[in-house]
Copies of this chain bind each other. A is one copy, B any other.
Amino acid sequence: MGKRLVVIGGDAAGGSAASQAKKRTRDLDVVMFERGRATSYSACGIPYWIGGAVTDEAALVARTPEQHRAAGIDVRMRTEVTAIDTARQEVHWRDLDGGGEGTEPYDDLVYATGSVPMRPPVPGMDAAGVYGVQVLDDGVALRKELDSGRVQRVVVVGGGYIGLEIAEACRVRGLDVTVVDLSATPVGTFDPDIGEFLADAVRGESIQLVLSDGVVAVETGADGRACAVVTASGRELPADLVVLGLGVRPNVRLAVEAGIPLGTSGGIAVDARMRTQVPGVWAAGDCVESLHRLSGQRVVVALGTHANKQGRVAGINIGGGYATFPGVIGTAITKICDTEAARTGLAEAEAEGAGYSFVTAVVDSTTRAGYFPGAQPIRVKMIAERRSGRLLGAQLVGRKGSAKRIDALAVCIWNEMTVDDILSLDLSYAPPFAPVWDPVLIAARKALEAVEADPR
């Protein structure tokens, strides 16, 4: 008489929740619905598969439906959940290929529907030839277009992480690529003094940047396909293909219809154990909101690493264990060819928005001792709370070997360290790995000086 767990969505969050719950409670019946053709794949890897750095689509899949089934999970592929009845504790489903329909009862439900790409509400945005890159099937469709040979000019709408990754992928394939973004520098979540390095790197790849400009229309040709992107400043950018890189929003339609409450951010509201406000219903992944530990606000952050952790937490709790997801601090990392950038905590505008008063410090240093062969430039920025000196945010940009150093600063922020504390940290040092004053420590020194210089 095992209980029954139903999981909606078979990617990172859903797959992790199903696996963890099943592992802990062998007599639990687990049914996982996935409307696409793949389970547990790396959405973040799609741009690299499109660009050819990853040659095999199957490599993106961490766990196939067959592997999930071997673990005792009843996986229903290409099957969409069309409604949730939280009173009867059942979901309605439809087989997208065969056309069959049915109902599945649950004791526990995990809502892990992910996100959908943002589409600006402008004419032509739904035309043929306009692609999002959110699920693996999107990537398959986009890659098929690129492989067709009829695409030469690509316009990427939005210069965020995914936008730039797709732009680089298309450039690697020899296409003409233009990126349009509202911000003054690409990846607007970086401050401009970091973003300008990314802009240089993007231009260095011969990718055209149209910045501080928005898209007002997608024009379509006689065949109904997108043929150009028109911007607010009046530019008309010819395009054989348009890719959306504006980020994503949580896929909450089903939840809203079922009366599962959202939070202030528009994501599904969950507690620390990933419970929604409806008994028996859990949620995890891109569709939920998380506590931002610095702003104290709820935010939606679509990132595979959170989705995996949240799915694991939900699965452990459903399986009778105890685990919590304590929130996020906004860590992110990206690269354009050999230029790497990363951030953690709050950027300047975010810190202002959260009500903090702060000082900043920016230092230019090298990844190795300056005299050591292969030393690469690295810029470190720190944002520290005025008076207390607490580190509120950090950003790094540089060449190879720069960006993953953000993790040490993420741990500093997680532990609410001050720049004065950070200055004393016992970080690793040897000439092939860092100057004797690590760039991170130099930045902390400068930030401390800024805090001390402004003690109001």
Contact = CB atoms under 8 A, between A and B. Distances in A.
A342 interface: yes
Contacts of A404: 401, 404-405, 428, 433-434
Nearest to A413: B426
Contacts of A438: 305, 407
Contact of A373 (B54, B309, B334): B54
A54 B340 CA distance: 26
A53 interface: yes
A304 B424 contact: no
A412 interface: yes
Given A425-B414, A430-B335, A436 B304 contact: yes
Interface in A389-444: 401, 403-408, 410-412, 414-415, 417, 423-434, 436-438, 440
A344 B426 contact: yes
B48 A372 contact: yes
Classify chain A: how many residues form its interface, as a range.
35 or more
A426 B369 contact: no
Contact of A309 (B12, B48, B424): B424
A184 to B, nearest CB: 23
A408 B44 CA distance: 23
Contact of A42 (B401, B405, B436): B436
Q: Which of A59, A411, A412, A434 is most buried by chain B, counting CB atoms within 10 A of its CB? A: A411
Interface string A68-102: 00000000000000000000000000000000000
A45 B331 contact: no
A309 to B, nearest CB: 7
A397 to B, nearest CB: 13
Ordered nearest first, which 8 A-B pairs have the shortest CB separation?
A: A59-B371, A333-B428, A407-B408, A411-B411, A305-B429, A415-B415, A331-B426, A304-B436
25 contacts: A42-B369, A44-B429, A45-B369, A48-B372, A48-B431, A54-B372, A54-B431, A59-B370, A60-B371, A62-B436, A304-B436, A305-B437, A308-B437, A309-B423, A326-B424, A327-B426, A340-B433, A404-B405, A406-B428, A407-B428, A407-B440, A408-B408, A408-B410, A410-B427, A411-B415
